[in-house]
Structure 1
Amino acid sequence: MSLAVRVAHAHPHLLGEGVLWDEREQAVYWTDIAGSTLWRLHPADGSVTHWRMPERLASFALCKAEGWLLLALASQLAFFQLDQQRLIPLHAIEPGLSTRANDGACDRQGRFVFGTLHEPAVGAKQPVGGFYRLHADLRLEKLPLPGVAISNSIAFSPASDRMYFCDSLARKILCCDYGDRLGEPRVFVDLDGIAGEPDGSAVDAEGALWNAQWGMHRVVRYLPDGTEDLVLDLPARQPTRPAFGGPDLKTLYVTSARDGLTATQLADDPHAGALFALAAPVAGLREPRFAGSPPHHG
């Protein structure tokens, strides 16, 4: 399906990711993981702000506490106060393993769920990472899910009774019954036949899952039963994550990456690394906020 796609921000991010919409500010946030930089765009006036991070920022969540974000940095979870650029470390992430944080999202109870990515010194990535959940009381729980090499596609159904997730290298998007306890994982969509990999996802107001597919120039919408509903063509080979935004939550923002592309591929992919926007045929859901408060804060 070809919809009018525009470049919302043209900066050539090496590894754009983690995009989400803040309805309080009417702004879109995202990260360039490789650039260790958090970005914010106010579409109404086009103003852009960015913050350099002390290490790579993989994903993050809005907070109920005004002016704060919860960050999944490469090696740690931390709170970040935007106006003061104040960082409060919380938990180390998989100390002793050659992994870093990767994809993450808040469930609709205000808990932050994230996974990790294997970064071996030599050889191929292996499923040695895990999935975790940070509770409002700042307790960190390891979830009983399979080991993962590249965590992605973390998203939740509108009722928050189903969790989606994947190991990108396995080319299968999984789901499980979700709550205080998790059900057994099952295959939601088998993508074994595609040339690319499933990356980040978002769920719309009708409960369909939108998945960015790395290497495939596309975002695909899947109905709750796993049926492929529509395919959105994008002018970038490596889209990474979609998010619904705008005043009516009907603008689909999509991050993308230049990472790993050759000079020849980049010549054919002039918008690689840009943030894209398009009018979606259905509305999204308001982004959940992390329910916990920074230490010593209200």
Structure 2
Amino acid sequence: MKAIAKPAGLAVDARHALGEGAHWAHHEAALYWTDIEGARLWRHTPATGVTDDWAMPERLATFAICEDARFVLLGLASGLAFFEPASGVVRPITDIEPGLNTRLNDGKCDRAGNFVFGMKDEAAPPQPVGGFYRLNADLRVERLPLPAAAIANSIAFSPDGGTMYYCDSATRTIRCCDYAPDALPTADRLFVRLGDARGEPDGAAVDADGGLWSAHWGGACVVRYDASGHETERLAVPTTQPTCVAFGGPLLDTLYVTSARIDLDAATLASEPHAGGVFAAVPGRRGLADTRFQGMPR
């Protein structure tokens, strides 16, 4: 394991309750993310320093930029919708798990442009009841045959698209499976069991070399695992609760990290004044451009 010499530095002093869903929009050269509890979508353009935001009709858990860049696919707490930033119009697609006390949590497009996402139980403590789903380009939703989760996270895909990573954060493990965009996942198996005394796996991204970068909620770090599940690099983050990562910048060599202030006590917040902000580092690896969602509003 190699510690990255320079820790992540502050990029946007957002101070969100629950910043999440980091996503680099290459066509705009901008970073998007969400403050789930604030129910807002955010965008920061590093070249200009301009930060924009849009109010959502409910908590926004996850999202994806669409192939038709006029639209953003929203993973709202209760279901899926299209959003047109220019007009502010939200077009519902469908509710997800309406009979359960769950909400959408983490999601990512596979390499073919389908949106794969998982759920979080709203009970305290959360129970493993939420499913993993795929929204296909034709807007058909199917449940994937993966173990139910209390807090679904870490959804990411290998460079060739043949491996899907995911987790239930509460188990402190990351799993993977064989994946094809036109078939159901198979060969589900353990990928990583966290060895640290603290921290849970949260959002993740895969680099161009096939390594999985995992934000460790409660662990104040981002850890890279190679395709065999061995830790190779570790990036310190100056806040306890990093939540999600995304490679961005013109060369996709900047690692952006969102974070959260929620549940931190006063003493911790005093020592971590930028908790809930967006951080950035240059870890010596390059990422892959995120695939856009291929579906269109009807």
For 1:1-298, list aligned pairs within 5 A.
1=3, 2-120=5-123, 123-179=124-180, 180-191=183-194, 193-295=196-298
Could you tell me how far 1:4 is from its partner in structure 2? 4.7
TM-aligned CA deviation for residue 23 of structure 1? 0.6
Q: Is the 8 A contact 1:176 1:186 kept in 2?
A: yes
TM-score, length basis structure 2:
0.97
CA distance in 2, matches of 1:63, 1:106: 10
Structure 1: where are the runs of 5+ without partners?
A: none
AA matched with 1:145: L
1:8–1:162 CA distance, 2 compared to 1 (3 A):
same
Instruction: Give per-residue Cα distances to partners, 1:72-127, cap 9 Å, x unaligned.
Output: 0000100000111110000101001000000000000000000000002xx42100
Alignment partner of 1:174: what SS? strand
Q: How many residues align?
A: 293
1:244 is paired with a residue of what secondary structure? strand
Between 126-135 and 271-280, the greater mean CA deviation after superposition:
271-280
Q: Is the 8 A contact 2:62 2:76 kept in 1?
A: yes
1:5 and 1:175 mapped to 2: Cα distance? 27
Indicate if the aligned counterparts of 2:7 and 2:236 stay in contact, CA closer than 8 A: no
Deviations 1:223-269 (A, max 9, x none): 00001001101101100001000000001000000010011111111
Q: CA deviation at 1:285?
A: 0.0
Q: RMSD of the TM alignment (CA)? A: 0.9
Structure 2 CA distance, aligned partners of 1:6 and 1:82?
A: 29
- How far, CA to CA, are the matches of 1:126 and 1:38 in structure 2? 28
Amino acid at match of 1:277: A
CA distance in 2, matches of 1:79, 1:247: 27
Give the partner amino acid of 1:165: Y
SS of 2:146 mapped into structure 1:
coil
Percent identical among aligned pairs is 54
Q: Distance in 1 between matches of 2:114 and 2:151?
A: 21
Q: Is the Cα contact below 8 Å between 1:27 and 1:42 reproduced in 2? A: yes
Local SS of the residue matching 1:147: strand
Q: Write the distance in 2 (CA, Å) between the matches of 1:277 and 1:176.
A: 30
Structure 2: any 5+ residue segments left out of the alignment?
Answer: none
Contact 1:4 1:279 in 2 (8 A): no
- With over 3 angstroms needed to count, the CA separation of the structure-2 counterparts of 1:192 and 1:230, relative to structure 1, is closer
Q: Distance in 1 between matches of 2:153 and 2:231?
A: 19
- When normalised by structure 1's length, the TM-score is 0.97
Say if 1:117 and 1:129, in contact at 8 Å, map to a contact too: yes
How far off its partner does 1:194 sit? 2.9
Compute the displacement of 1:279 (Å).
Answer: 1.1
Runs of 4+ residues over 4 Å off in structure 1: none
Letter of the structure 2 residue corresponding to residue 124 of structure 1: P
Q: What SS class does the counterpart of residue 175 from structure 2 fall into?
A: strand
- The 3-state SS of whatever aligns with 1:146 is strand
**Corresponding letter in the other structure for 1:127:** P
SS in structure 2 opposite 1:130?
strand
